[in-house]
Amino acid sequence: MAKKGTITINRELCKGCYLCIRACPVKVLEPDTELNTSGSYPVKAKNPNNCIACGNCYEVCPDVCIEVCALETAET
């Protein structure tokens, strides 16, 4: 069974470098269309259900504004 995860993004810390978008193998992330308070377009999760908890986005984020948690999956 494939791993699943949840992603949380702190919009106010994100400066919009988009390294995480390029690092995501399953295209969970995209640029937001609304500015944060610092005037940047942060990242948002467009397909959060596709997250596989690989942690690539977390690893490349220079501002540590992404949190990834692996979900426990039930084996059948």
Tallying the residues shown for the chain, one arrives at 76
Q: From CA 60, how far away is CA 46, in angstroms rounded?
A: 19
pTM score, whole prediction: 0.87
State which CATH number among 3.90.1150.10, 1.10.510.10, 3.40.50.20, 3.30.70.20 fits the domain covering 4-71.
3.30.70.20
DSSP string, 25-39: TT--EEE-SS--TTS
Are 26 and 17 in contact, with CB atoms under 8 Å apart?
A: no
- pLDDT at 1 (0 to 100): 58
24-68 confidence digits (pLDDT tens)? 999 999 999 999 999 999 999 999 999 999 999 999 999 999 999
Neighbours of 22 (CB within 10 A): 11
**Torsion angle defined by CA atoms of residues 37, 38, 43 and 44, in that order, rounded to the nearest 10 degrees:** 0
Confidence class for position 12, pLDDT limits 50, 70, 90: very high
Confidence class for position 74, pLDDT limits 50, 70, 90: low
